[in-house]
Amino acid sequence: MTSQSTIPLASTRAEFWPLIRLAVPLMVGLAAALLIGVVDTAMIAPLGTVPLAAVGVTTAVLIILISALWGVITVISVQISQAEGAGDPVRVATALRGGLLLCLIGGSGGALLMIATYPLLGPLGQPEEVLAILLPYWVSMAIWIIPFTLFFGLKALFDAVEWPWTAVGLSYLGVLFNVPANYTFIHILDLGILGAGLASILSQCISLLAAWVVLTKAPGMADFRQRVTVPWAQVWAQCKDALPLCLGYAGEGGAYAIVGLMMGWLGADALAAHQIVNALAGLAYMIPLGMAGAVAIRVGLAVGAESQTRLRPIVKASFIMVTLWQGLAAAVFIVAGPVMAETMSQDLAVIDLAVTLFIVVALLQVADGIQGTALGALRGMSDMNLPTVITLVAYWPLALPASYLLGFVFGFGATGVWLGYGLGLFVAAIALPWRFWWLTGIPTPRPTPVTT
């Protein structure tokens, strides 16, 4: 007779391959979005420290808005996954169409909000030399938010219905266009950082157009493009589901953005070093972020199929894989940090600080991967509210004050700011898995027998 202790292990092993098969294209596809930022950083870096710092300021605020909109995209993905798990293509089509409408509204609102916040950068202490050249790039990246959000709304469909490599190809179509477009606009047409913004808009629009063609023309998508009526009540319901997610993601992204603004208080060198680390560490984070997306989809499919016993094995397998990856990423940052910094800048002060920040970031990798993966699992279960509270508490009353104290009061500068931010990661990495384990430990109620 098989012992009970061997059953979870076997179930966990069975989840490795399905997670890898889904997570790898998600990781590669998400990396495409960040590669556009890396291309911008690499192309702008020869223009000097101040233009590079301008990209850093823009990225810091852009993170807040994209993080908030990621809540909308997550709700679409979870709803499509649960509908697909239940074998209901009509529900899939309804969730997609309502979600795309919500993406359009949210993306447009995000763009307008970003433009409206520009006058606040001066009072928030950003360097004057950076603000003198920033506005054109700022506005262009605000516009970029709209096609970005719509594209990822469509990508949620491809990922959930087992077309993830199609989504990858569409993502990299934009990246391939972005490289020559960046070089042409920045260096040949001499548009400076505005050229990088224009190239990003055009690249994202090309990916979006190609995704729409696949949805409307591919035979395998026929079930999901059927005509369905999407009442405003459905859109409003999606909006209500997305709101706590948006707050949670914006809370995390907002805290990270304030870290970027704190770097601005330390000067252009600190801001430029932060941008280098942010661009390259962000690529590494696509692995746990892709795993979080895969876990959310796998958990959503299990919930839709009413298969409660699969939930813990899915998350155990994901924790093992993300821990191994983040440990490897940490080693790369420590060993190759100097080379990566020298590749991105010729300013010795910027290089030295970036190398130190790479070491600090390496120390945070495993905690960051665990908290992100646990959050994905909870999203797949449609557990929205308490994870949002956990995230907000971890970063705002804990991480940000710690960043300020270590960076400015105790005088550790940029290193202290990053170490303080790490406090929030560690708190979330403990609390979010605990929440998942508590929820999945509740037995599924059995129907009460009817007696006569």
The tally of CA atoms less than 13 A away on the side-chain side of residue 443 is 3
**Coil, strand or helix: which one is 409?**
helix
User: Between vectors from CA 28 to CA 25 and to CA 176, what angle results, nearest 5°?
Assistant: 120
Distances (CA, A) of 11 to 314, 315, 431, 439: 8, 11, 24, 19
Distances (CA, A) of 31 to 169, 179, 283, 295: 12, 15, 6, 17
CA distance 79 to 297: 9
CB 63 within 8 A of CB 278: no
| Model pLDDT, residue 33 | 66
| Model pLDDT, residue 441 | 79
- Residue type, position 415, single letter: T
Neighbours of 91 (CB within 10 A): 17
DSSP H or E segment with residue 203: helix 193-217
413 phi-psi bin (left φ>0, alpha ψ -120 to 50, beta other): left
* 130-175 pLDDT per residue, tens: 888 889 999 999 999 999 999 988 888 888 777 878 888 888 888 8
CA-atom Rg of the chain in angstroms: 22
Distances (CA, A) of 292 to 123, 154, 414: 37, 18, 29
CB 271 within 8 A of CB 57: yes
Give the pTM: 0.70
| Model pLDDT, residue 446 | 41
CA distance 211 to 338: 39
**Predicted confidence pLDDT, tens digits, the chain (452 residues):** 334 344 444 478 888 888 888 788 777 776 776 677 677 777 777 777 788 778 877 877 787 787 778 778 877 877 887 777 777 777 788 888 888 888 899 899 999 999 998 898 888 777 788 888 889 999 999 999 999 999 988 888 888 777 878 888 888 888 888 888 888 888 788 888 888 889 989 989 999 999 999 988 888 887 777 777 766 777 777 777 777 777 777 777 778 778 887 888 888 888 888 878 877 787 677 778 778 878 888 888 888 777 888 899 999 999 999 999 899 999 999 999 999 999 888 889 999 999 999 999 999 999 999 998 998 899 888 787 888 899 889 989 999 999 999 999 999 999 999 999 999 899 999 999 999 999 987 554 443 443 43
* 392-446 pLDDT per residue, tens: 899 899 999 999 999 999 999 999 999 999 998 999 999 999 999 999 875 544 4
CA distance 326 to 314: 18
**Coil, strand or helix: which one is 347?**
coil
